């Protein structure tokens, strides 16, 4: 089956990047959010990010105009009915994702493949609540989407081979590299990454080091391009907490206990870069550690 039209649900940090790479690769994109402001901001960001690619010679100005013209925004999920592939990338909460799939399914064509960009939630469980578990899989991009090379592809128990192959072909058309993961909590990347970030928060919580000393240690001591707390702010602390809760609940091992300090930051609404404050305060010229 040839995929031509792609629906993207959720116009947050990830959704804007997904709409960007899909339209640049030639797909028609129907871009949905419940919030018009999120869609407007996402379109402005895609424009700016594509402009940066043009100035670096990575994208033709004419190709940029073509890509932008292939993206249509909508507040109405039924408008995604004509899509061949839907990538859900809304807030990392199972009830939110379930409600989206419930609302969407009656409008879809029988051949449409449904996917989720979830970082951690069971693909098999999300799939089982739709009318097409065999045509459902995890399509997990990395942040920032236009730059990061990897896409994790996750098959649920029921996912069939043609669905996997169709998604694999999309990853190839994007010029990205697919790695496959079995459907266990947080898959591969976040199963390894999030406990490290959570441990960095414990290190801060227990007073072993300050924000600066923890990030400096990991950048200069282990050659990580970003420190774990800076990275947590980049990902979003609500998303980090949600993933730790999925690991804790799904694997029932206390080693995945979310750090109470991470919970506290989320309770404060200090979610990282997207809200202007997290382990760093981004409201001034340069980021300032908040502890």
As a whole number of angstroms, the distance between CA 227 and CA 208 comes to 15
Choose between 205 and 234: whose C-beta lies nearer to ligand NAD: 234
Instruction: State both tokens at 278.
Output: 């997290």
Residue 113 to residues 51, 69, 198, 254: CA-CA distances in angstroms?
31, 24, 34, 36
The answer to whether residues 44 and 78 touch, using CB atoms and an 8 Å cutoff, is no
Per-residue mark of binding to ligand NAD, 121-160 (x: CB under 6 A): -------------------xx-x-----------------
CB of 33 or CB of 183, closer to ligand NAD? 33
3-state secondary structure at position 116: strand
**23 part of the interface to ligand NAD, by CB under 6 A:** no
Q: Which is nearer to ligand NAD, 54 or 142 (CB)?
A: 142
Confirm or reject binding of residue 198 to ligand NAD (CB under 6 A). Answer: no
CB nearer ligand NAD, residue 132 or residue 140 = 140
- Residue 40 CB, nearest approach to ligand NAD (Å): 11
Is residue 33 involved in binding ligand NAD (CB under 6 A)? yes
Long-range pairs, 36-42, Cβ under 8 A, ≥24: 36/75, 38/11, 38/12, 39/11, 39/73, 39/75, 41/11, 41/16, 42/11, 42/12, 42/15, 42/16
Do 187 and 179 contact (CB within 8 A), yes or no?
no
Which residues are marked as active site?
119, 140, 152, 190
89 is an interface residue for ligand NAD by CB under 6 A: yes
Q: Which residues bind ligand NAD (CB under 6 A)?
A: 9-15, 32-35, 38, 89-92, 96, 100, 117-119, 140-141, 143, 235-236, 239, 274
């Amino acid at each position: 089956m040839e995929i031509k039209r792609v629906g993207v649900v959720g116009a947050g940090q990830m959704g804007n990047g997904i709409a960007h790479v899909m339209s640049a690769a030639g797909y028609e994109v129907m871009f949905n959010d419940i919030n018009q402001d999120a869609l407007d901001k996402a379109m402005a960001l895609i424009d700016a990010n594509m402009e940066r690619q043009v100035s670096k010679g990575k994208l033709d100005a004419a190709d940029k105009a073509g890509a932008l013209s292939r993206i249509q925004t909508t507040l109405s999920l039924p408008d995604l009915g004509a899509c061949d592939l839907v990538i859900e990338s809304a807030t990392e909460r199972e009830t939110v994702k379930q409600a989206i799939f419930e609302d969407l399914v009656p409008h879809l064509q029988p051949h449409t493949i449904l996917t989720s960009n979830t970082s951690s939630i069971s693909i098999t469980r999300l799939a089982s609540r739709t009318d097409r578990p065999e045509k459902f899989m995890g399509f997990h991009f990395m942040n920032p989407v236009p730059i990061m090379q990897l896409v994790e592809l996750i098959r649920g128990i029921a996912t069939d081979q043609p669905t996997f192959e169709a998604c694999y072909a999309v990853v190839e058309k994007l010029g990205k590299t697919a790695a496959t993961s079995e459907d266990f909590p947080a898959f591969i990347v976040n199963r390894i990454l999030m406990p490290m970030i959570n441990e960095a928060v414990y290190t801060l919580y227990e007073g072993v080091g300050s924000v600066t000393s923890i990030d400096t240690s990991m950048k200069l001591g282990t050659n990580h391009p970003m420190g774990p707390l800076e990275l947590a702010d980049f990902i979003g602390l609500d998303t980090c907490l949600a993933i730790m809760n999925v690991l804790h609940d799904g694997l029932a091992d206390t080693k995945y206990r979310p750090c109470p300090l991470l919970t506290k930051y989320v309770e404060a609404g200090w979610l990282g870069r997207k809200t202007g404050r997290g382990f760093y305060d981004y409201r001034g010229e340069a980021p300032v550690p908040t502890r």
